[in-house]
Structure 1
Amino acid sequence: MMWMPMLGLTALPHLGGLYGGYITRREVKTWYPTLNKPSWRPPNAAFPVVWTCLYTGMGYGSYLIWKELGGFTEDALVPLGLYGLQLALNWAWTPIFFGAHKIKLALIEIVMLTGTVGATVASWYPISRTAALMMAPYMAWLCLATSLNYCIWRDNSEKKEE
């Protein structure tokens, strides 16, 4: 049963990802194609693959922090609290952007998310360098996603958000 926390914490981020995928699947075929997007955007097929890898890495990183700090202890409050906050912000972006079609609000939200991930990484680094470094691909992807969100907002500002 020692593997249960590892499995649970690694799988946790995927729960929001599954819900986000449900919302996105419909909108990628209807609303999203109507938007002006930059030529450098990744293909739609890349997103589920990338997010599966990122969610797995961040989830396993959270397990390493949890394990190093002896579980949900007082010492874990800040590093795992920041992780939980960034996870909630991560899960909220898709319903805002794809579900509500609020591009500007999604941009504000993803900037907050990126900052919270940065704070999470900073709090993890003294505890487990490995866990902190497992968040590096996530930070890189968020920088790309934030840029993409900004360009979509900028290039579609004349369209009234629904």
Structure 2
Amino acid sequence: MANWTALGSVILPNLGGWANGLYFAGQVRNNKNSWYDDLKKAPWNPPKWVFGPAWTTLYSGMGYASYLVYEECGGFTEEAVLPLTLYGGQLLLNWAWTPIFFGMKDFQLALIEISVLTAASVATTASFFAVNKTAGWLLVPYIAWLSYATSLNYYIWKNNPQVKEIKDGKSS
């Protein structure tokens, strides 16, 4: 018999990721001459196709971790309030990065946002570890990826001074 709570917990974080991916990243993927392709990217920047599978894996892991915390606490109890609120907050921050970077094309604001997201994710991870060690460990790859993604964002912000032209729709 399917555990619908577990399944829903895994699907939920993916929904925002898929929506962002379809709308924003899909625009980049489908336009060979897009502004994103013209950016100076870090030598360690992966191919575009890596992001979809990586984020699906990470979202699924964090979703399952939230389920483990939910179960360990016996649902939305007083004990679950802090870790699940931190989780929800960092998830909203996670979903907000893509529109800032790809929609607004504001690389500096995206860098600030992903830094706040990483801090929120570290707090979430610590709170998950306090409830369920497996849940905490499931978020460790996410923090590692956020650190990596932050370095990519930083490189783009630092090495693409033409942000104003990109934001105004003029790619140089």
User: Quick check: TM above 0.5?
Assistant: yes
After TM superposition, give the deviation of residue 27 of structure 1 in Å: 2.5
Structure 1 outlier segments of 4+, above 4 Å:
none
1:48-96 deviations in Å (ceiling 9; x for gaps): 0100100110000000000000111111110000000000000000011
1:15 — aligned with what?
A: 15
The alignment's C-alpha RMSD in Å is: 1.2
After TM superposition, give the deviation of residue 2 of structure 1 in Å: 6.7
TM-score w.r.t. structure 1 length? 0.96
Contact kept in structure 1, 2:14 and 2:60, CA below 8 Å: yes
Contact kept in structure 1, 2:14 and 2:56, CA below 8 Å: yes
Moved more, 23-32 or 82-91: 23-32
The aligned runs of 1:128-147 (5 Å cut-off) are 128-147=132-151
1:25 — aligned with what?
A: 26
1:53 — aligned with what?
A: 57
Count of paired positions:
162
Give me the whole-angstrom Cα distance separating, in 1, the residues matched to 2:163 and 2:99. 19
1:94 to 89, 93, 98: 98
Give me the whole-angstrom Cα distance separating, in 2, the residues matched to 1:4 and 1:159. 45
Give me the whole-angstrom Cα distance separating, in 2, the residues matched to 1:159 and 1:8. 39
Moved more, 85-94 or 16-25: 16-25
Unaligned runs of 5+ in 1: none
1:114 — aligned with what?
A: 118
2:39 — aligned with what?
A: 35
1:20-39 deviations in Å (ceiling 9; x for gaps): 11211103431210111011
1:69 — aligned with what?
A: 73
Give me the whole-angstrom Cα distance separating, in 1, the residues matched to 2:81 and 2:35. 40
After TM superposition, give the deviation of residue 157 of structure 1 in Å: 2.1
Identity %: 51
Give me the whole-angstrom Cα distance separating, in 2, the residues matched to 1:99 and 1:31. 11
1:117-139 deviations in Å (ceiling 9; x for gaps): 00001111121000000001101
Give me the whole-angstrom Cα distance separating, in 2, the residues matched to 1:127 and 1:90. 22
The aligned runs of 1:143-162 (5 Å cut-off) are 143-160=147-164, 162=167
1:6-49 deviations in Å (ceiling 9; x for gaps): 11111100110111112111034312101110111111110001
Contact kept in structure 2, 1:114 and 1:143, CA below 8 Å: yes
Give the secondary structure class of the aligned counterpart of 1:26: helix
After TM superposition, give the deviation of residue 158 of structure 1 in Å: 3.8
